[in-house]
Structure 1
Amino acid sequence: MATLTSLAVEAPSTQEHVSERTPTARRAVRRRPRWALWTALIVLGLFAFLPVYWLAVTSVTPERDAFTFPPRLFPSTVTFEHYLAVFQTPAIFEYLRNSIVVSTITAVLSVAVSMYMGYAFSKFRFRGRKSLMYFVLSSQMFPQALLLVTLYVVFAQAGLLNTYQSLVISFTTFTLPLCVWMLKGFFDTLPDDLIEAAKIDGAGPWRTFHSVILPLAAPGLVAAGLFAFVRGWNDFMFALTLAGPEKQTLPPGLVNTYVSEAATAWPELMAASLLVSIPVCAAFILLQRYLVGGITAGAVKG
């Protein structure tokens, strides 16, 4: 009995001791994930923005200081002569024009085709639907480099080499699968009651799609179009192989302009690369609201 009484007396004191330490332990548990999160964000930020910072620093560094060792994180002298050299190179503006033409047509054509395919996969039920959907997705499994020789032969026989058409067709072919699945996921989030209401009002399938569905699908269309635009803007391999010097886009054009067997003009190349990145960055900033909405719309089904 004495032992049980002593345990009963000691039990409250033990509970009070545990309750006193519990808030401290909870704060320690909360701090650890927070510190881990901030550390991960800093590491990811350095990984993402350090190359951009180095590109900007090299573009304003004089030629004589660009190859100093060890490299400097902050240039001792700032110069903008490399940017002036870029603006004084007429070929850069030709490559820029080609990139704008090819990327814009690729984006428009990819969206125009994928919106009908995505809507059909989302709202219609027909035989072979799932097989066709997975067939479209499986085309992304093949490395694009394997198809380059075949496309070169086909375009050569069709007389399309060194033309805008060869680049647009090849870029659109490789962007369609992802655009279709992206828009299919977006159309899945739109309720079928909208289609039923349009039918009751007397609208046909084409009128329903163009007047009711497409205005609501604007974020998805912008996301798919921006993806296709960036795909055409950044491509190097197909633009270098299928297009001649007069139709080449910026990626191979910059290499041909600033990279040679004897030497590479790194400061000018960095300045040109920074300048040609501005249109894509501006597009992302202006359309980020639609882009985020279009990408995440099909992530949750409900």
Structure 2
Amino acid sequence: MSATTLDATPTPSTPPPSRPVPSATPAPRRRRGALRSERPGVRIAAWATVVVCGGFGLLPVYWLLATSLTPRDQVFAYPPRFFPAAPTLDAFAALASNEQLFVYLRNSVIVSVVTAVLSVLVSAYMGYSFSKFRYRGRRSLMYLVLASQMFPQALLLITLYSVFSAYGLLNTYTAMVLSFTTFTLPLCVWMLKGFFDTIPDELVEAARVDGASRLRIIHSIVLPLAAPGLIAAGLFAFVRGWNDFVFALTLAGPEKQTLPPGLVNTFIGEASTAWPELMAASLVVSLPVAIAFIALQKYLVGGLTAGAVKG
């Protein structure tokens, strides 16, 4: 019996090698768009598009620089030269010796800075009111502010001229600042409203429960969080005051004119035009705006896209 029992006892055997179990999740497939983007033809087309668009944007800037370095008697040489044959800095030297241009520069800085500050100040309160308060006529007022952008600015020039003349504001900084601010407010208000919409209402309610007043909430909590939107609105208003030509030419006299009409009156005459000096002045005038855009571009993009995606 014992021998039979022992013989019946199964002997341990080595288990067969385990085979790898296939994963339940299939390997991610490469998208068709990714495959297409790796093709040489697509890459060449993309780079060609970038080069063409970049050339389209930078060619006028290069032409400004090339013309400013060209002697006046060679500006209209035929065939035209893309590279000056004898570059000179006489045009830039003429700018430095023209004292009237510094007067125009001072006027542009004053008008543009005051316009930016006033536009941001007014649009911040209006945008916060439209975003966080609910009252009768709010939506109608919002659309009324937006509809004011539909009117051409030149259409209101005669009306503004008559109003400023009646109140004795012609040939003053006040006339230009008020006119520039009038046309920058609608976009600044809607830009800041979209930014204020991204700030949670619970944050405002928590501050109100803690005993903060409405002015304390907007000054200490909301405005610091909306700093990128404020910078974007201020930059837009600054550029509007810096580049305006029609209103600065009509509402201000020679002593209060800004750079755009000042350059035209200085270098463009009935008989001839000083093209190298005009191009050099245009290039120098464009530098502050270009530097501001490069330094603040991330705030500008954030302010313009705020409120576009709500989650």
Same fold, TM-score > 0.5, yes or no: yes
Structural mapping, 1:1-302, within 5 Å: 26-27=35-36, 30-302=39-311
Q: CA deviation at 1:204?
A: 1.4
Aligned to 1:16: none
Aligned-pair identity in percent equals: 68
Runs of 4+ aligned residues of structure 1 deviating over 3 Å after TM superposition are 26-36
1:28 & 1:133 partners in 2: Cα distance? 44
- Cα distance between partner residues in 1 of 2:310 and 2:129: 18
Deviates more, 1:61-70 or 1:240-249: 61-70
Q: Deviations over 1:99-129 (max 9, x none)?
A: 0000000000000000000011111111121
Read off the aligned partner of 1:220 and give its amino acid letter: G
Instruction: Please list the CA deviations of residues 121-140 of structure 1 after superposition, one character each: whole Å capped at 9, or x if unmatched.
Output: 11111112111111100000
- Structure 1 position 31, deviation (Å): 4.5
CA distance in 1, matches of 2:45, 2:132: 44
* C-alpha contact 2:70 2:88 (8 A) present in aligned 1: yes
Structure 1 Cα separation of the partners of residues 162 and 39 of structure 2:
61
Q: Provide the rounded CA distance (Å) in 1 between the counterparts of 2:218 and 2:36.
A: 54
Structure 1, unaligned runs of 5 or more: 1-22
Contact 2:268–2:274 under 8 Å retained in 1: yes
Q: Partners in 1 of 2:277 and 2:310 — Cα distance?
A: 48
Q: CA deviation at 1:299?
A: 2.1
**CA distance in 2: counterparts of 1:298 and 1:79, whole angstroms:** 50
* Deviations, residues 73-99 of structure 1 (Å, cap 9, x unaligned): 111111111100011011100000000
Higher mean C-alpha displacement, 121-130 vs 266-275: 121-130
Shift of 1:276: 1.2
Determine if contact 2:191/2:304 at 8 Å carries over to the other structure: yes
Residues 273-297 of structure 1 show CA distances to partners (whole Å, capped at 9, x for unaligned) of 1111111122222222322222222
Q: Which has the larger radius of gyration?
A: 2
- Of 61-70 and 261-270, the range deviating more from structure 2: 61-70
> Once the 2 structures are TM-superposed, how far is the Cα of residue 64 of structure 1 from its aligned partner?
2.0
- Look up the SS of the partner of 2:308 in the other structure: coil
* Counterpart Cα distance in 1 of 2:304 and 2:80: 40
Superposition deviation, residue 268 in structure 1: 0.3
**Shift of the alpha carbon at 1:200?**
2.0
Equivalent AA in structure 1 for residue 220 of structure 2:
S
Matched residues, number: 279
Per-residue deviation, 1:30: 4.4
| Distance in 1, Cα, partners of 2:47 & 2:137 | 48
Q: CA RMSD in A?
A: 1.7
Question: Which structure carries more helix by proportion?
Answer: 1
Distance (whole Å) between structure 2 residues aligned to residue 139 and residue 28 of structure 1: 44
- Code of the residue aligned with 2:133 in structure 1: it is F
Return the letter of the residue paired with 2:121: A
Structure 2 spans left out of the alignment, 5+ residues: 1-31
| Alpha-carbon distance in structure 2 between the residues aligned to 1:290 and 1:114 | 17
Q: TM-score, normalised by structure 1?
A: 0.89
Question: Distance between the aligned counterparts of 1:30 and 1:208, measured in 2?
Answer: 55
